[in-house]
Amino acid sequence: MRTAADKAATLRAGPSAPVAVPLGTPAVGSGKRRGPGGLLRFARSSPLGTAAGLFLIALALTALFADLLTPYDPLVTNYGISRLPPTADHLFGADNMGRDILSRIVYGARVSLFVALASVLIGDGTGLLWGVVSGYVGGRADLISQRVLDALLAFPGLILAMLLLVALGAGLPTIIFAIAVTRIPLSTRVLRSVALSTRNLAYVEAARTLGASPLRILLRHITPQCIAPFLVLVSANIGVAITTEAALSFLGIGVPPPTPTWGNMLGGVLAESFKPPWWLVVYPGLALTTTVLAANLFGDAVRDFLDPRLRGRVTGL
């Protein structure tokens, strides 16, 4: 039988059950993952994801300094070299109007990456704000917001973007807005679930008991738990946004010509010829495919690195 002293010691020690910690809560010693040490750990845990990230950085720098790196103006026509095959002077050949394919691909990367990054940040940022507020407030406001998301999810992403572009007109700002709207429902649902699981934790209840305002609880206790899932969503949605922009441009309702994008380069040449020369299709398609693949690999690596349950799975690749 347990003595009175044993019972008193048990009461002083308190329960020994483990405490659940939500995704994104910094663990003890998590500060070691910040800075250069965190980058090295990321590189060791996912060499393939690191290579994909370096490729995206190199592509972004190439697009940023396209004026200095491209050999020709992508808008200048020269019908004397129309449909010229790849040569020493034109490594990727020339299109139907005599424009250098390599220069147009580099400038197209500038447009595609800018549209993808801007639309993802706007869409996922809106989803972060919407999901955190909806998950914390709850009640009728949360119910109404979820029905609005259900209405948005009823349309496939590409169809919804097409409808918005038809209503608002073609142009770079409207394309960014249309793609951003398609990213909102998924990010809102994911981040709302994080807010729902966080608002009832002990430290949030303690802050509420001590008189912290709802705004302070949202900013200091709920939102920080959503940062890691938010970063995963951003990295994963970049490839989807690039594909959506290319599909819209391919269909002729994206960025209007003569501005080069990978999508309208493919769509324009296929509209003018039933069987176009191979270099007019292979090189833009290869640039699009490689970039989307790199974005998806990098997004998967970021997810594995930030989620302790998945970290290290890509090490064996």
All domains in the chain, ordered by first residue: 100-317 (1.10.3720.10)
The C-alpha angle with vertex 107 and arms to 106 and 110, in degrees rounded to 5, equals 100
Q: Which residues of 181-208 are buried (b: 16+ CB within 10 A; e: fewer)?
A: bbbbbbbbbbbbebbbebbebeebeebe
Q: Are 42 and 248 in contact (CB under 8 A)?
A: no
Residue 99: name the closest of 230, 258, 256 by CA.
258
125: which 2 tokens? 């940022």
Residue 213: name the closest of 204, 225, 202 by CA.
204
Q: Do you find a cis peptide bond into 214, omega within 30 degrees of 0? A: no
Residue 101: name the closest of 112, 111, 91 by CA.
91
The model's pTM = 0.78
222: which 2 tokens? 């709920």
Query: pLDDT for 110-133, tens place per residue?
Result: 988 999 999 999 999 999 999 999
pLDDT of residue 180: 94
Element (H, E) at 182: helix 172-198
140 CB-contact burial (10 Å; exposed 0-12 / middle 13-18 / buried 19+)? exposed
pLDDT of residue 18: 40
Phi first, then psi: what are they for 100, rounded to 5°?
-70, 125
pLDDT of residue 229: 87
305: which 2 tokens? 């690195």
pLDDT of residue 51: 93
If phi over 0 gives left and psi between -120 and 50 gives alpha, with beta otherwise, what is residue 296? alpha
With a cut of 70, which residues of the chain have pLDDT below it? 1-35, 270-274, 307-317
Residue 295: name the closest of 59, 44, 67 by CA.
59
